[in-house]
Structure 1
Amino acid sequence: MANLLQTPAHAGAVPFSRPPTPGVHPLQLGFCGLGAMGYFMARNLATSFKSQLPPLVVYNRTVTKSQKLLAELGASSIKVADTLDQLVTECDVIFTNLANDAVVTSIYNEFAKALAQTPPSKVKIFVEMSTIYPTLAGDLDRLLSSFPHTHFVTSPIFGPPPGADKATLVIAMSGDYRSKKEVAFLLVPAVGRKVIDLGGNVEKAPTLKLIGNGMIMGANELLAETLTLGEKSGIGQQTVYNLVKEIMPAPGIVAYGHKMVNDLFDGSEGFALDGGIKDANHIRRLAAELNCPMPAVDNTHRGLISARAMHQAQVVAGTQQWDILDWSSLIASSRVAAGLNPFDSSKGTGVVRED
């Protein structure tokens, strides 16, 4: 199997040599999971290879998302699969980006049934891009390796939905070497800007993903506490945020700080709170298994749970502003502890700034 490249990858962005010259038949790509991240990644894959590969085959349990992508790009770029069996049977490389471990397990069990019914006669690569617990990756690898010509690559991604939209994601990757080579040159620069190779053990890329997310969520918790202190001190959270942009201008901190300062907690346009809680649970489990305390993640988990509890109380009362919270809403915990309004920073300020 070999892929087609529409443009050379950026120097140093892919840690592999180029795959062999394309074969007689062009690759058929497929994508399962058109959520906040998956929709943009599938769209970018489809548009990047529009003139060189057949239309991208997409499947989503909520078919309206597949139909939306079809309407946006047209039949020359998108083909909607009616079933998972169709996706597996027709495609050479299948990308998955799903909500949680339970959904991933369910989908891959369906893949296995399809492979058992129609065993592959040529190489087929499954690329799992979700945030999952590392041991699940090992289970999926063992499941798929029982079928001929079938390979499994873990390829979780770093970056928010706007990063997926702009194809600036960082991609961790582990698994079969030749498969990684194929996949890496499909994803860069179409979906992301860089691949980090973690070797042949498929559990390593999901492990790095959890480590990275732990760092991000710990930074978000510190950011939330700092902005809240700025508000209570009379300095104002906007002034503190301006300082953050000057002395700690990391893209994630700047982006989530903007959400916190401006109360932009709509999870339908960002990283949903429940996803953050799921990731925090995974990180805390990994830390416990390895005897490696991570109190920053423990505090973040508390903040996320507190924000969810406050939001659910608003849902019961019918006063919620958003149906789904973004995980930047963890600042609600710090605000309430300091006597401020959880989701509306214009209310309840305890100290008036003196000019």
Structure 2
Amino acid sequence: MSMSHALSLSFRRVSPLSFSQSASTATRAFSTSLRRNDTWGFIGLGQMGYAMAKNLRAKIPASDTLIIRDVNENATKRFLEENQEAARNSTCKVIVAQNAREVAEQSTVLITSLPEPEHVKNVFYSMLRHGDLPVLEQERLFIDTSTIDPASSRQIANAVHTTRQGRFVDAPMSGGVVGARAGTLSFMFGASSQTGQLVDRVRSVLMLMGKKAWHMGNSGAGVSAKLANNYLLAINNIATAEVMNLGIRCGLDPKVLADMVNTSTGRCWPMEINNPVPGVVETAPASRDYAGGFGISLMNKDLRLAISAAEESGAPLALAEMARGVYKAVEAEHRGKDFSVVYKWLQDQSAAQQ
């Protein structure tokens, strides 16, 4: 099957991403010849991707090269400046590509971390639409760590595999920005289980950026597992906010209440690590005006994708529509904040009822 025909079957038409020119002093053109040392690619330097790329750069051999790409010139410039400082300690060389195709041409392992399904499709379309990529000594490995819908992920996998450009793996992660920075992320990945060699290779790459990596099954299994996890997180977060609001209004001390729950059957990540009440957990976003963390818009996106996956698979989600209504209302009033800001929204609702 030709490259163009495979792409037309695998991707529904989307507008290519507009790749802006990065800092020209740090950008170079690439030849199509194979480098002696391994070359790694990373596309997407958002809050998660930036930290993941930093950990990758720090842990791969000093003789290797890391090629980065992002539409945000400020993020790219900052990454390069930080690498110049790190280079004094003999870490790997970092260079900037002008587009995603250049990253794909040179990288033996290419990792993407992007916000939405359309972004991922656009990037892979731009990498594959210009014909065969250069043949490397080792099979090219594409690892997408974005949280997208299973159908889109399988479409991309089909495009990569049908055109024989390498192996595609969906590998979303859990652990948030804190885990990305600390290198303690947990990955769940979908990859063909025909050979253990591929699974071992994928796991060895992911462990450079995290502490756990579960092989969940074939293509699409990773994102399916991530959406199941984040649906549970969405519900737990609302319940935690409601419990804390209820307890405080009943006169309970929030720290004592949280400690009790965290040693009882109600223990969960939103209560223990990301507690929504300011001051209960000093490292939580709530203690810094809900800044950083997992944005409410991202939770809304993941909830939407989880609901779509449930509809596709015929799985009933009894609390989905109610949760979606809550997160839509919260995002409208607290856009840009961590998703634990649901607690503040509940406080406002309580005050309005008095």
Higher mean C-alpha displacement, 330-339 vs 201-210 = 330-339
Counterpart in 2 of 1:218?
A: 235
Counterpart AA for 2:68: V
2:123 to 107, 122, 130: 107
1:56 aligns with 2:56: no
Quick one: distance in 1 between partners of 2:348 and 2:229?
A: 28
Counterpart in 2 of 1:344?
A: none
Q: Deviations over 1:154-193 (max 9, x none)?
A: 11111111111111111111123443322211221x2111
Counterpart in 2 of 1:129?
A: 145
Contact 1:29–1:94, Cα closer than 8 Å, also in 2? yes
Counterpart in 2 of 1:198?
A: 216
Q: Deviations over 1:77-128 (max 9, x none)?
A: 42222221211111111100111112111111111124x1x53313211111
Quick one: distance in 1 between partners of 2:36 and 2:290?
A: 41
Trace 1:133-144 onto structure 2 (pairs within 5 A).
Answer: 133-144=149-160
Q: Deviations over 1:112-148 (max 9, x none)?
A: 124x1x5331321111101110011111011112323
2:273 to 255, 279, 293: 255
Q: CA deviation at 1:291?
A: 3.4
Higher mean C-alpha displacement, 144-153 vs 83-92 = 144-153
Trace 1:5-84 onto structure 2 (pairs within 5 A).
Answer: 25-51=36-62, 53-74=63-84, 76-84=92-100
Q: Could you say what secondary structure the match of 1:173 adopts? A: strand
Contact 1:173–1:197, Cα closer than 8 Å, also in 2? yes
Aligned length: 304
Distance change (3 Å), C-alpha of 1:259 and 1:28: farther
Counterpart in 1 of 2:348?
A: 336
Distance change (3 Å), C-alpha of 1:86 and 1:291: closer
Query: What residue ranges of structure 2 are gaps of 5+ in the alignment?
Result: 1-34, 281-285
2:201 to 182, 192, 196: 182
Q: Deviations over 1:279-323 (max 9, x none)?
A: 0111112223333332344333222111112236xxxxxxxxxxx
1:235 aligns with 2:235: no
1:269 to 285, 292, 298: 292
Counterpart in 2 of 1:244?
A: 261
1:168 aligns with 2:184: yes
Counterpart AA for 1:302: G
Quick one: distance in 2 between partners of 1:270 and 1:183?
A: 27
Distance change (3 Å), C-alpha of 1:136 and 1:107: same
Distance change (3 Å), C-alpha of 1:193 and 1:86: same
Contact 1:303–1:334, Cα closer than 8 Å, also in 2? no
Query: What residue ranges of structure 1 are gaps of 5+ in the alignment?
Result: 1-23, 313-323, 342-349, 351-355
Distance change (3 Å), C-alpha of 1:147 and 1:45: same
Distance change (3 Å), C-alpha of 1:160 and 1:304: same
Quick one: distance in 2 between partners of 1:267 and 1:72?
A: 27
1:207 to 221, 224, 243: 224
Q: Could you say what secondary structure the match of 1:256 adopts? A: coil
Distance change (3 Å), C-alpha of 1:281 and 1:168: same
Quick one: distance in 2 between partners of 1:339 and 1:54?
A: 57
Counterpart AA for 1:119: L
TM-score (normalised: structure 1): 0.78
Q: Could you say what secondary structure the match of 2:275 adopts? A: helix
Higher mean C-alpha displacement, 118-127 vs 271-280 = 118-127
1:291 aligns with 2:291: no
TM-score (normalised: structure 2): 0.78
Contact 1:28–1:54, Cα closer than 8 Å, also in 2? yes
Q: CA deviation at 1:330?
A: 1.9
Distance change (3 Å), C-alpha of 1:78 and 1:332: same
Quick one: distance in 2 between partners of 1:246 and 1:207?
A: 30
What percentage of residue pairs aligned between the two structures are identical?
Answer: 21
Distance change (3 Å), C-alpha of 1:59 and 1:148: same
2:331 to 308, 328, 338: 308
